[in-house]
Amino acid sequence: MGVTLIMPFDDLRSFLLALEKQNELRRIPFEVDPYLEITEFADRAVKQNCPALLFEHPKASSVPLAINLFASMRRIEMAFGVSNVEEIAARIAGFLQMQKPEGLIDTLKMLPKLKEVSSAFPRTVNRGPCKEVILRDKLSLDKFPILHCWPGDGGRFITLPMVFSRNPETGKRNCGMYRMQVFDPTTTGMHWQKHKQGAEHYRRHVAKGEQVRMPVAVAIGADPATMFSAVLPLPPEIDEMLFAGFLRGKPVDMVKCETSDLEVPANAEIVLEGYVSSGELRREGPFGDHTGFYSLDDDYPVFHIECITHRKNPIYAATIVGPPPMEDFYMGKAIERIFLPLMRLQLPEVRDICMPAEGIFHNLILISIRKSYPGQARKVMHAIWGLGQAMFSKVIIVVDEDVDVQDVKEVAWKALNNIDPQRDIEFALGPIDSLDHSSRMPNYGSKMGVDATTKWQAEGFTRRWPSVITMSDDVKQRVDNLWKRAGLDRT
Ligand X SMILES: Cc1cc2nc3c(=O)[nH]c(=O)nc-3n(C[C@H](O)[C@H](O)[C@H](O)COP(=O)(O)O)c2cc1C
DSSP 404: -
Residue 8, binding choice from ligand X, Mn ion, none, Cβ under 5 to 8 Å by partner class: none
Please tell me whether residue 161 binds ligand X under the rule CB under 6 A. no
Paired with 214 in beta bridges are 276
Q: Which of 197, 376, 418, 453 binds ligand X (CB under 6 A)?
A: 197
Please tell me whether residue 193 binds Mn ion under the rule CB under 5 A. no
Please state the closest distance from residue 481 (CB atom) to ligand X, in A.
Answer: 51
Residues 321-340 that bind ligand X (CB under 6 A): 321, 328, 331
Please state the closest distance from residue 320 (CB atom) to ligand X, in A.
Answer: 8
Please tell me whether residue 405 binds ligand X under the rule CB under 6 A. no
Sign of CA dihedral 54, 39, 193, 435: negative
Please state the closest distance from residue 72 (CB atom) to ligand X, in A.
Answer: 15
* Exposure string over 205-235, b if 16+ CB within 10 A, otherwise e: bbeeeeebebbbbbbbbbbbbbbbbbbbebe
Please state the closest distance from residue 6 (CB atom) to Mn ion, in A.
Answer: 28
- Please state whether 249 falls in left (phi above 0), alpha (psi between -120 and 50) or beta: left
Strand 316-318 relative to strand 65-67, pairing: parallel
Closest CA to 452 of 408, 376, 399: 399
Q: Which stretch binds ligand X (CB under 6 A): 74-82, 171-179, 248-256, 375-383?
A: 171-179
Please tell me whether residue 453 binds ligand X under the rule CB under 6 A. no
Specify the amino acid at residue 334: A
Residue 334, binding choice from Mn ion, ligand X, none, Cβ under 5 to 8 Å by partner class: none
For 12, the enclosing helix (H) or strand (E) is helix 12-21
Please state the closest distance from residue 389 (CB atom) to ligand X, in A.
Answer: 6
Q: Give me the catalytic one of 153, 223, 253, 289.
A: 289
| Count of residues in contact with ligand X, rule CB under 6 A | 20
Please tell me whether residue 242 binds ligand X under the rule CB under 6 A. no
* Contact string 342-381 vs ligand X (x = CB under 6 A): ----------------------------------------
Task: For residue 274, report the phi and psi dihedrals to the nearest 5 degrees.
Answer: 175, -150
Q: Which stretch binds Mn ion (CB under 5 A): 232-240, 275-283, 300-308, 401-409?
A: 232-240
Contact 359, 395 (CB under 8 A): yes
Closest CA to 178 of 272, 246, 247, 113: 272
Q: How crowded is residue 360: how many other Cβ atoms within 10 Å of its Cβ?
A: 26
Per the annotation, the verdict on 253 as an active-site residue is no
Please tell me whether residue 233 binds ligand X under the rule CB under 6 A. yes
Contact 327, 360 (CB under 8 A): no
Please tell me whether residue 165 binds ligand X under the rule CB under 6 A. no
Q: How far is CA 155 from the centre of its chain?
A: 24
CA distances 25 to 20, 41, 61, Å, are 5, 13, 21
Q: What is the DSSP string of 80-93?
A: HT-SSTHHHHHHHH
Please tell me whether residue 174 binds Mn ion under the rule CB under 5 A. yes
Please state the closest distance from residue 287 (CB atom) to ligand X, in A.
Answer: 8
Please tell me whether residue 260 binds Mn ion under the rule CB under 5 A. no
Interatomic CA distance for residues 414 and 418, integer angstroms: 6
Q: Which of 66, 85, 177, 338 binds ligand X (CB under 6 A)?
A: 177
Question: What 3-state DSSP class applies to 273?
Answer: strand
Specify the amino acid at residue 357: A
Q: Which of 52, 162, 232, 276 binds ligand X (CB under 6 A)?
A: 232
Residues forming contacts to Mn ion in the complex (CB under 5 A) are 174, 197, 234
Residues forming contacts to ligand X in the complex (CB under 6 A) are 159, 174, 176-179, 191-193, 196-198, 231-233, 319, 321, 328, 331, 389
Residues carrying an active site annotation: 289
